[in-house]
Amino acid sequence: MMVYDLACDAAHRFEAWFGSSADFDDQQARGLLLCPLCGSPNVGKAVMAPAVAAKSNQASAQRAPVQSLANDDPMARLLMMQRAFESQSDYVGDRFAAEARAIHESGETRSVHGEASADEVKALRDDGVQLLPLPFRPRARSDA
C-alpha cells in the first residue's frame, strides 16, 4: 500500500491509500477519485515534501507537522476512508453473509461489503469468517 497527498481543483488537500501507483492511475483514469470535502472529480497528486533523515552527526530540527484539512476534520477523514474502502471492494447488499461465506470457503481474497443481521454476523464469526463492522453506512445503501 502507498499513500498519496491529493488535491482537488478547489485546493482541498487530503490523503488516499492505493495498492500501487498503477491503481492510482487506473482509478484516476476511470473517474473514481472524488474530493471527500466537496465531491469534485478533478483530483490529482499534490506536491509532497519528502521525509529526509538528518545526518547522524547533526541534531534533527524540530518541525511542525504539515496537516491537511482532512486530518483536522474527523468526519472528512472518515468519509475519505469510506470512499477508499468502497472503491476497493464490491457492494453486495443484503447478500453479504452468503457472499462472505462463499469467499471464505473458496479461499478467494476478494473484499465485499453490505448488510447482515446480528445472527448472520455471529454465525459467520463462529465459522471462522473474518469480518469487521464498518463505522459508516455504505453509500450504495444511504444514497437510495
Taking only the tens place, the pLDDT of each residue in 96-107 is 999 999 999 998
pLDDT confidence of residue 56: 59
Determine contact, residues 78/57, Cβ cutoff 8 Å. Answer: no
Q: What is the CA radius of gyration of the chain?
A: 19
pLDDT higher at 139 or 37: 37
Residue-level pLDDT at 95: 92
Q: Is the pLDDT of residue 1 over 60?
A: yes
Q: What is the mean pLDDT of the chain?
A: 78
Domain limits of the chain?
Answer: 1-48+69-88, 90-144
Is the CB of residue 96 less than 8 Å from the CB of residue 116?
Answer: yes
Q: Is the pLDDT at 61 greater than 50, yes or no? A: no
- Per DSSP, 4 falls in state E
For residue range 103-128, list pLDDT tens digits in order.
999 988 888 888 888 899 899 999 99
Q: Return the minimum-mean-pLDDT range out of 13-17, 101-105, 139-143.
A: 139-143
User: Which residue, chain included where needed, has cell 476512508?
Assistant: 81
Ranges of H-type helices in the chain:
21-29, 69-72, 74-87, 96-106, 118-126, 139-142
- Exposure class string for 6-33: b at 16+ Cβ within 10 A, else e: bbbeeebbbbbebeeeeebeebbeeeeb
Is the predicted pLDDT of residue 70 greater than 70, yes or no?
A: no
Check: CB of residue 101 under 8 Å from CB of residue 116.
Answer: no
